[in-house]
Amino acid sequence: MLSRVPYPLIKGDKLRAYHHIKELSKQNEIILCALTDETVHPDALRELEKFCSKVYIFKLKCHKIIYNIIKSFLGKNPLQVGYFFDKKIRQAVDSVIKETKPDHIFCQLIRASEYVKNYNIPKTLDYQDVFSKGMERRISSASFFMKVVFRLEYKRLLKYEEHIFDYFDNKLIISKPDKDLIPHSNKEYIHVIPNGVDQTFFHPLQAEKKYDLIFSGNMAYPPNINAVEYLVNSILPALIKQKPDIKILIAGAHPSRKIRKMQSENIFVSGWVEDIRLCYAQSRIFIAPMQIGTGLQNKLLEAMAMQLPCVSSIMANKALGASDENEILLGNKPEDYIKHILHLLENEQYAEQIALGGFNFVSHNYNWAKLTDKINTIIRT
């Protein structure tokens, strides 16, 4: 049970679900139920039917979403749980479960858990990230009104993440730091299953270097917007003083109006690109100065697999676990990022050394097939 259709792979939860489905289908029959609040990509069904015996997609209607958010606001559930829940869709999911009689139910994210939590069938919940912590980190930078909303949502998410734990036989999460933040007394029983990176797709490519820095990701996602703002407002001005012609590529789907307005002679905002690999290959350094959010940054895995030297925040690396100054370069304040970037741009041999360290790191630690094998073992125990 998924809260989104896992194709195309433009968001972290879609990417994770897609590769779990692909790998699990090698040993299991997969029946997929997924929600959507947008038009389904024309290739989605064809792509997912490669791995699933049946695919059911349920449309969340706009007026129902608004109604259910208001209902959640007046009740106790988090707003995002309310956003994705619809009684009629639950009845349809009930019919699918009654008809197909699954041996195991796999639910990704607490957003979809209301649909399956009460079934007396072995169940696994993939928390993926700790939503409550991500929400808490957004409070400080929010407007006065949104502070009130985010604080309410944070408290509800905290209670819900604890509450939903006991409905599922197995629990998964993306990293140990996230596991440690789950507010349940038995959180030590959560299995840490990181994301992988598809190195048959993401691998070093030769291309003319057009950009000094690249940041990639879903550009409607608040932590990504926040990171780009930090890059442009706190890091870039000092870089321009040292290197006036520095070029930065902001690549990713759905750039917000705020991001689009940042375009300048130093900054290029691409929007959706058909093949992100070319963007990586045309860039010298990958930068991800993440300040908020939780979980493992897929963008870092991809850039490392493409053999780019990566500069990121200490916070983002807690989930990744790369070695500072060997496999990645870490910053905590603007001066750190500026120093790392200039050093990499001025010293090609050093840049190659960090890039190779990152490449070897993801090759050894982030393989989708090996990581998903652990899920097979968990659900069969």
Is 79 contained in some domain? yes
Please indicate, yes or no, whether residues 240 and 175 belong to a single structural domain of this protein.
no
Is 202 contained in some domain? no
Per-residue pLDDT at 292: 85
Read off the CATH number of the domain in which 60 is found.
3.40.50.2000
| pLDDT per position as a tens digit, 132-160 | 998 998 898 889 999 999 999 999 999 99
Please indicate, yes or no, whether residues 81 and 182 belong to a single structural domain of this protein.
yes
Please indicate, yes or no, whether residues 175 and 229 belong to a single structural domain of this protein.
no
Is 3 contained in some domain? no
How many angstroms separate the CA atoms of 113 and 349, rounded? 49
What dihedral do alpha carbons 104, 106, 112, 118 form, nearest 10°?
30
Of 322, 9, 15, 363, give the one whose Cα is nearest residue 195.
15
Is 201 contained in some domain? no
Please indicate, yes or no, whether residues 234 and 351 belong to a single structural domain of this protein.
yes
What dihedral do alpha carbons 79, 133, 179, 197 form, nearest 10°?
90
Please indicate, yes or no, whether residues 276 and 176 belong to a single structural domain of this protein.
no
Please indicate, yes or no, whether residues 95 and 16 belong to a single structural domain of this protein.
yes
Is 118 contained in some domain? yes
Per-residue pLDDT at 142: 87
Per-residue pLDDT at 12: 87
Q: In the block, which residue shows the tokens 């604080």?
A: 151
Please indicate, yes or no, whether residues 105 and 159 belong to a single structural domain of this protein.
yes
Print pLDDT tens along the chain (381 aa): 999 999 998 888 999 999 999 999 999 999 999 999 999 999 999 999 999 999 999 999 999 999 999 999 999 999 999 999 999 999 999 999 999 999 999 999 999 999 999 999 999 999 999 999 989 988 988 899 999 999 999 999 999 999 999 999 999 999 999 999 999 999 999 999 999 999 999 999 999 999 999 999 989 888 999 999 999 999 999 999 999 999 999 999 889 888 999 999 999 999 888 899 999 999 999 999 999 876 778 999 999 999 999 999 999 999 899 999 999 999 999 999 999 999 999 999 999 999 999 999 999 999 999 999 999 999 987
Domain count, the chain: 2
Is 114 contained in some domain? yes
Please indicate, yes or no, whether residues 295 and 154 belong to a single structural domain of this protein.
no
Please indicate, yes or no, whether residues 187 and 239 belong to a single structural domain of this protein.
no
Per DSSP, the three-state class of 109 is coil
Is 206 contained in some domain? no
How many angstroms separate the CA atoms of 195 and 302, rounded? 11
Please indicate, yes or no, whether residues 242 and 156 belong to a single structural domain of this protein.
no
Please indicate, yes or no, whether residues 330 and 375 belong to a single structural domain of this protein.
no
| pLDDT per position as a tens digit, 274-330 | 899 999 999 999 999 999 876 778 999 999 999 999 999 999 999 899 999 999 999
Per-residue pLDDT at 141: 83
Is 219 contained in some domain? yes
- 254-262, Cβ contacts within 8 angstroms, sequence gap of 24 or more: 254/10, 254/218, 254/219, 254/220, 255/219, 255/220, 256/219, 256/220, 256/225, 258/225, 258/229, 259/219, 259/225, 259/228, 262/228, 262/232
How many angstroms separate the CA atoms of 315 and 290, rounded? 7
DSSP character at residue 254:
S
How many angstroms separate the CA atoms of 279 and 102, rounded? 42
Please indicate, yes or no, whether residues 46 and 166 belong to a single structural domain of this protein.
yes
- AA identity, residue 137: R
Residue 225 belongs to domain spanning:
211-365
- AA identity, residue 138: R
- Asked if 77 and 113 count as a contact pair (C-beta separation under 8 A), the reply is no
Of 61, 150, 148, 75, give the one whose Cα is nearest residue 114.
75
Per-residue pLDDT at 140: 86
- Asked if 285 and 212 count as a contact pair (C-beta separation under 8 A), the reply is yes
Per-residue pLDDT at 147: 95
Please, where are the H alpha helices in 267-367?
276-281, 298-305, 314-320, 334-346, 348-365
Cis peptide before 223 (omega within 30 of 0): no
Q: What is the pTM of this model?
A: 0.85
